[in-house]
């Protein structure tokens, strides 16, 4: 899988340092989490402290109640403008069965708020 992360972000710095990240798919009722994570920089505030995270094998963090959480290890990266494209291997993951009745959270859901 691939993710594109702004080079100015704290997440970018952490992925570069560790070569790994967790990918969390939020559902339509989790816009508050998206807002909390997407409107403030990790340089100024520990955003993870607000989240109901759990530690999994190889120290990957998963989010409870999300549609799915996946452990990823960066295979290669590429600079694309002011972002970096990380192409990663999927190592393991889990999904919450009760969340499957919801669809993924869309950017437009947050814009509508």
Partner 1 sequence: MILASRNIWDTRIQCVYSIVLGQEGTQIDAWACGNYGQVTLDPPRIIINPNRLYPIEGILRRTRRFSLNVMPAGALEEVLRFMRLRRREPRKTELMQWRLDEAHGVPYLPDALKTVFCEIEEILDTGDHTVMISRVAESRAHEAHAGEPPLMSREVFGGGMAPFQRQFRKILVKSGVLDAARAVWQKRRPPPSADIAETTYCTGGQTEDEVRQVLSYGGFDYSRGLRPPPSPHKPCRAVGVCVVGTHWGAFHCQLVRNANRSAHLFVCGRDRERTERLARSVNADDCFIGMDAAARDPRVEAVVLAVPAHQHRSATEICLQAGKHVLVEKPIATTLEDADAMIEQSHRFGRTLMVAEDMHYRPPISLVRKHIDAGDIGEPLHLLMHTGGINRPQGWAADRSRLGGGVFMDIGVHYVRAMRLLMGEPDTVSAFPAMQINTKMTGEDGLSAVFGSRYGWQAHLLATWSSNFGILPDIVVMGDSGTFHLWPRKPYVDYYPASPRLATRLVSYIRPYSLQARLTRPWFQRIRLRSGKDGTGYIAEMRAFLASVAEDQPAATPPEDARRDLEIVMAVYSASVSGSPTSIPQIQIG
Q: Which residues bind partner 1 (CB under 8 A)?
A: 1-2, 4, 23, 25, 67-68, 70, 78, 80-83, 85, 87, 89-98, 100-101, 103-104, 106
What pairs with residue 69 in β-bridges? 24, 94
Distance between CA 5 and CA 3 in Å, rounded?
Answer: 6
Give the Cα separation of 107 and 35 in Å (integer): 10
Between residues 44 and 76, which has the closer beta carbon with respect to partner 1? 76
CB of 46 or CB of 111, closer to partner 1: 111
Cβ proximity of 33 and 109 under 8 Å: no
Are 92 and 41 in contact by the 8 Å Cβ rule? The answer is no
Closer of 46 and 98 to partner 1 (Cβ):
98
For partner 1, the closer CB: 15 or 46:
15
| Residue 83 beta carbon to partner 1: minimum distance, rounded to whole angstroms | 5
Q: How far is the CB of 7 from partner 1 (least distance, A)?
A: 10
CB of 46 to partner 1, least distance (A): 25
Phi/psi at 41 (5° precision) = -85, 145
Supply the minimum distance, in Å, between the C-beta of residue 97 and partner 1: 4
DSSP state of 112: T
């Amino acid at each position: 899988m691939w993710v594109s992360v702004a080079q100015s972000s704290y997440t970018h710095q952490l992925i570069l340092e560790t070569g790994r990240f967790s990918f969390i798919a939020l559902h339509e009722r989790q816009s508050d989490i998206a807002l909390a994570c997407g409107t403030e920089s990790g340089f100024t505030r520990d955003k993870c402290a607000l989240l109901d995270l759990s530690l999994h094998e190889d120290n990957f963090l998963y989010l409870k109640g999300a549609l799915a959480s996946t452990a990823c290890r960066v295979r290669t990266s590429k600079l694309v403008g002011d972002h970096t494209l990380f192409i990663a291997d999927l190592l393991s993951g889990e999904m919450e069965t009760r969340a499957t009745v919801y669809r993924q959270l869309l950017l437009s859901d947050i814009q509508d708020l």
